[in-house]
């Protein structure tokens, strides 16, 4: 059997179109993992009713997937560099398909959450290796184009996920949204066996940095859990503060560990390259903007403009569709002229779209709104593909897996931050507005019949417009950072080829001056980022608060059982009570 597989694989790769077969296989994995991010959200109310558990429990069906995916991506990228990208990608199909089977068989919420973790491990194996496989298979002059095709497929998959999920749940049952992955996963597993290239043997064996992996995973988990706390800026949360403190300590220990070990999980020398550093930072910011808009726009369309659920879905389609159409072309242009110009232009175009949303307010014309959302999609499509290509192109051949894992981790963090921070700002300002107008300590705004409809609309727009202003500022910042990136892809110094002495004793003894500076810079950046986020949120809240004086401090939102819900539960409360 094995000789036959090798013979078929050799013939495929000798064929002129062999690399396009590989692209198709990679796209299968990209589509499967992307669909599963969005398709499950529409099933959460059904799962809550079926399993008879509180929303605080069922929200972990979605959160466990994103949390697992985020914390394992860097490790899987590193393992791919060590043990082979094709092998891990093939394993990803198997694990993802098995996890989908377990999800569909779930007898209860606990089993479902555990099965989602398995499924996310498979998705992580796929996502961490997809870009690296494409970079290996295609020449540099075609890299942007194929990464653009992958981005387009992912955007389309995420956009059709809720639509497909709704049809399957209504006609077959919630199990179908998981079982539909099984035939696709089996076909993809067989295709990967014959199409993915055989992994080259590593020149030398390297140890896995398990301590670094543990510290990074724990630190990222604390960040995700901190921003998932359902609190307002004013009321705060001791749990949130504790999570952030733990995240700062764990990530600081992680960076110190990476500088001490011979074979680090993430080579911090990668971040010496301006293209790699800025590319990853702006990638997170771009997805922050994209998913914040995707999260809050349905509320704006339904509550402020009075659109139906069907019309809301139709109006959101131009955003991802424009992004999907633009991505391959922007990748091809970046192959010819470099990433700096087109990524900067993409972010400026996105900033213009955010500004247009500010000008529309609560009286937007729907055709014009669809054009503005499409403009935002074009801007994102112009940015994401060239940026991803530049980041991967700046990494050395032996670090492509790590670079892909870090890039996908930043995308996942952008998703988490976009949903939770935008919801945090919105909730704070909405409740401040109501408190200033005589309705303090309101729990569920949209179902509270004692609040005048005009006041509800004013409170909503007060919070929504502030979020859009923040997103516009983020896009302008991303445009500036993109404009100062290196035009070329300067080679990265491999620390194993430099004269760097490992630590023998003391906190920083034995580090090179450059390593010390890099570690301190990243640590200060982490502290400044977290501190600045909360400080700016408070300043923004004060500057745009309603003119009346608040009548009293806000009480923490709790239900009858004393449970404090997260942002996902807040969103579910809104969606489940749409008029």
pLDDT interval class at 498 (50, 70, 90): very low
Nearest to 137 by CA among 24, 29, 34: 24
Backbone angles phi, psi at 501, to 5 degrees: -95, 135
Nearest to 122 by CA among 30, 199, 22: 30
Q: Which residues contact 294 (CB under 8 A, 6 or more apart)?
A: 316, 319, 418
Distance CA 572, CA 469 (A): 24
Q: What is the pLDDT of residues 41-55, one digit of tens each?
A: 777 778 888 888 876
Q: What pTM does this model have? A: 0.71
Position 413 pLDDT exceeds 90: no
Distance CA 218, CA 230 (A): 21
* Angle of helix 44-51 versus helix 60-83 axis, rounded to 10: 110
Of the listed ranges 83-87, 412-416, 437-441, the least confidently predicted one is 437-441
Of the listed ranges 177-181, 380-384, 436-440, the least confidently predicted one is 436-440
Distance CA 274, CA 278 (A): 6
pLDDT score for 486: 64
Instruction: Name the one residue in this structure whose structure tokens are 């295609």.
Output: 138
Question: What is the biggest distance separating any 2 CA atoms in the chain, rounded to whole angstroms?
Answer: 78
Q: What is the pLDDT of residues 124-178, one digit of tens each?
A: 888 877 777 887 778 777 777 787 788 778 777 877 777 788 788 888 888 988 9
Q: What is the pLDDT of residues 499-522, one digit of tens each?
A: 333 333 333 344 444 444 444 444
Domains of the chain: 1-195 (1.20.1250.20), 209-264+266-418+465-491+513-531 (1.20.1250.20)
Instruction: Name the one residue in this structure whose structure tokens are 């179902």.
Output: 447
Of the listed ranges 50-54, 82-86, 107-111, the least confidently predicted one is 82-86
Question: Is the CB of residue 437 less than 8 Å from the CB of residue 455?
Answer: yes
pLDDT score for 231: 52
Instruction: Name the one residue in this structure whose structure tokens are 């959450």.
Output: 113
Q: Helices marked H in 361-399 — which ranges?
A: 366-393
pLDDT interval class at 9 (50, 70, 90): low
Mean pLDDT across the chain, nearest whole number? Answer: 75
Question: Is the CB of residue 65 less than 8 Å from the CB of residue 53?
Answer: no
Distance CA 32, CA 56 (A): 27
Higher pLDDT, 577 or 376: 376
- Judged on CB neighbours under 10 Å (0-12, 13-18, 19+), 4 is exposed
């Amino acid at each position: 059997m094995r000789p036959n597989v090798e013979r078929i694989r050799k013939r495929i790769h000798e064929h002129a179109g062999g690399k396009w077969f590989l692209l198709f296989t990679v796209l299968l994995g990209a589509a499967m993992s992307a669909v599963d991010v969005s398709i499950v959200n529409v099933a959460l109310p059904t799962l809550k009713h079926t399993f008879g558990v509180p929303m605080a429990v069922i929200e972990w069906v979605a959160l466990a997937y994103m949390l697992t995916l985020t914390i394992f991506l860097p490790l899987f990228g590193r393992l791919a560099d060590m043990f082979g990208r094709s092998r891990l990608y093939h394993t990803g199909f198997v694990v993802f398909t098995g996890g989908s089977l377990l999800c569909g068989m779930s007898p209860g919420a606990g089993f479902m959450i555990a099965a989602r973790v398995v499924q996310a491990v498979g998705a992580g194996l796929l996502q961490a290796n997809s870009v690296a496989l494409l970079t290996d298979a295609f020449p540099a002059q075609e890299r942007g184009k194929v990464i653009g095709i992958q981005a387009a497929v992912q955007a389309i998959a995420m956009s059709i996920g809720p639509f497909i999920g709704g049809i399957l749940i209504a006609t077959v049952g919630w199990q179908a949204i998981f079982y539909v992955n099984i035939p696709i996963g089996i076909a993809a597993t067989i295709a990967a066996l014959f199409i993915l290239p055989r992994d080259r043997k590593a020149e030398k064996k390297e140890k896995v940095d398990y301590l670094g992996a543990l510290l990074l995973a724990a630190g990222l988990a604390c960040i995700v859990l901190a921003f998932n706390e359902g609190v307002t800026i004013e009321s705060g949360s001791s749990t949130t503060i504790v999570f952030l403190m733990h995240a700062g300590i764990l990530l600081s220990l992680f960076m110190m560990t990476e500088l001490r070990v011979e074979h680090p999980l993430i080579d911090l020398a990668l971040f010496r390259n301006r293209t790699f550093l800025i590319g990853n930072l702006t990638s997170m910011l771009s997805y922050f903007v994209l998913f914040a808009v995707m999260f809050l726009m349905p509320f704006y369309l339904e509550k402020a403009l009075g659109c139906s659920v069907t019309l809301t879905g139709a109006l959101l389609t131009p955003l991802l569709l424009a992004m999907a159409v633009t991505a391959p072309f922007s990748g091809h242009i970046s192959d010819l002229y470099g990433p700096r110009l087109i990524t900067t232009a993409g972010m400026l175009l996105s900033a213009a779209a955010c500004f247009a949303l500010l000008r529309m307010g609560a009286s937007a014309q729907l055709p014009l709104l669809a054009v503005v959302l499409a403009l935002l999609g074009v801007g994102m499509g112009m940015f994401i593909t060239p940026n991803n290509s530049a980041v991967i192109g700046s990494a050395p051949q032996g670090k492509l897996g790590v670079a892909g894992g870090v890039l996908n981790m930043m995308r996942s963090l952008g998703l988490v931050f976009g949903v939770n921070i935008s919801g945090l700002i919105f909730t704070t300002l909405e409740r401040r507005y109501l408190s200033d107008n005589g309705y303090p300590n309101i729990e569920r705004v949209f179902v509270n019949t004692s609040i005048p409809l005009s006041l509800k609309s004013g409170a909503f727009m007060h919070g929504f417009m502030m979020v859009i202003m923040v997103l516009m500022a983020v896009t302008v910042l991303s445009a500036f950072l993109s404009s100062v990136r290196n035009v070329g892809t300067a080679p990265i110094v491999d620390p194993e080829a430099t004269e760097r002495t490992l630590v023998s004793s003391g906190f920083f003894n034995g580090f090179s001056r450059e390593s010390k500076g890099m570690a301190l810079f990243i640590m200060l950046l982490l502290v400044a980022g977290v501190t600045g986020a909360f400080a700016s949120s408070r300043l923004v809240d004060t500057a745009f608060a309603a003119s009346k004086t608040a009548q009293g401090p806000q009480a923490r939102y709790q239900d009858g059982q004393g449970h404090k819900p997260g942002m996902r539960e807040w969103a579910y409360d809104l969606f489940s009570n749409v008029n």
